[in-house]
Structure 1
């Protein structure tokens, strides 16, 4: 099989099958969709049988394709293991598509990028800052290779390791909230400003307050922590964000409110591709874990 197909062809076939898409495989391998189609076509010509059912949406492996997939995965895993044992992964050249939650951007991302560059001098990181639900979709669709985001959750084909917990705190300018206490018994008339609607802080707070108060609370949402901070500094509402994410200026001007609202901390995890070619991603995940636990 090795003599029949080049390593690159097997890699192209594996990722096309894994992502169930010619275009996503092209993005993953930094090439074009016609190039992917041409390589798959050549492989099918050598075998004399189609590898994919192209009429299926998304594309699906044929019986022949499933047979080849098992062999291709085994070979690619063996190559990855060889690179790991010979410590060749530190010489990795290429681009890692990374998704990051803004909480991490505001805390220890810079330290992580510095350590990643130290371990992988030829590594390029294509970074996207987004909310967790969007990053989950991007992982499943093969649009990013790894993510530093809220968890835990199960993503097929990915492993994850715990990074850090961040307590959620209410913040407001002086005198906005009586006695600096945010209580369900005396919810201030000003809105709460927090993360987007499809995140845990928003959904949990909304449901808790609706259940206790019998009415829908006023909640403003924004995906930018710096914007939430600016709105709180302007006295537009009470900010609910992860502890440690406000700027020094924000911490100087805003007060932490006491509260009887019990909120679970935000738990962040590193999600990375498991198995084939996953050694670099796993090492990056462990670098993230070390940086996060070091006081980020």
Structure 2
């Protein structure tokens, strides 16, 4: 038997140094110290009698043999996780899930999702990042996030993705502005007020700007913001007409604080997906993505 030759902690350290490219980052992710990580790697190299990585100034590069052993280490870690799954003891899983979500998710079903995750994996702590989708895309590609719940388009492909449905946009305004915009209106009509939108590089703003260019609508009163929540709040306070995912405005609409405006143009629905590096992350991350699909479906129905 080889159980006494090396440990899962050594294999885990090797995998995370390989993925994050840094002993320091691996130590931070595994909630330990850099010397500890170095000792685990050194012990593994001594046991196997081979150099697994070259340590240059500020960077780490796997050797050819190290590349092979990292792939084998991933399989061993996955198989060890299978023991917990077979025993039906998800409570034994101890780890930190680095989760990134967009503001759309944070403003709709994030809390029920986090509660379900806690029920399923009580030993998993969640490190949450809320950001624009393109920023989440970049961080996921660098392996600094394990799972993102974000909106298309996606700049970087990943081997793990679960579609979570479409989220329609709508025009909303406070009752006073809505009364002045009764009936079918055009986007040009909306520019009598401030037009509150998401950030300039986002899908909805780009489409709105293209529509304005095509139809000759002046864009002087377009007011983009990186915060959809701020757009909503400004609309509630009568500061303009907002173009937002209707799911985020549902409570304000139900309460009568906002009214949906019937306009002749609307941005395409947002496509949402749970995304992860299926070939590298722990198996529970894929299950966390599946839980997201279940919660999203419950919210939509």
Change (3 A) 1:54 1:164: same
Contact 1:22 1:37 in 2 (8 A): yes
- Further displaced range: 123-132 or 180-189: 180-189
Partner of 1:134: 135
1:272 CA drift (Å): 3.1
- Are positions 1:240 and 2:246 aligned together? no
Deviation at 1:250, TM superposition (A): 5.1
Unaligned ranges ≥5, structure 2: none
Once the two structures are overlaid, the 10-residue window that deviates more, 31-40 or 6-15, is 31-40
What residue ranges of structure 1 are gaps of 5+ in the alignment?
none
- Partner Cα separation in structure 2 for residue 87 and residue 276 of structure 1: 23
Indicate whether 1:59 and 2:60 are aligned. Answer: yes
Cα pair distance change 1:77/1:248, threshold 3 Å:
closer
How far does residue 276 in structure 1 lie from its aligned partner after superposition? 5.1
Structure 1, 176-185 or 264-273: larger mean CA deviation: 176-185
Runs of 4+ in 1 over 6 A off after TM superposition: none
Root mean square deviation, CA, Å? 2.7
Contact 2:23 2:34 in 1 (8 A): yes
Kindly indicate whether residue 16 of structure 2 is the aligned counterpart of residue 6 of structure 1: no
Q: How does 1:1-296 map to 2 (within 5 A)?
A: 4-55=5-56, 58-151=59-152, 153=154, 155=156, 158-176=159-177, 178-179=181-182, 181-213=184-216, 216-246=219-249, 248-249=251-252, 251=254, 252-275=256-279, 278-296=282-300
**Cα separation, 1, equivalents of 2:99 and 2:138:** 13
Say whether the 8 Å CA contact 1:191–1:218 is kept in structure 2: yes
TM-score, scaled relative to structure 2: 0.85
Aligned residues between the structures:
296
Report if the CA contact (8 A) 2:84-2:93 is conserved.
no
Contact 1:100 1:128 in 2 (8 A): yes
Q: Give the TM-score normalised by structure 1.
A: 0.86
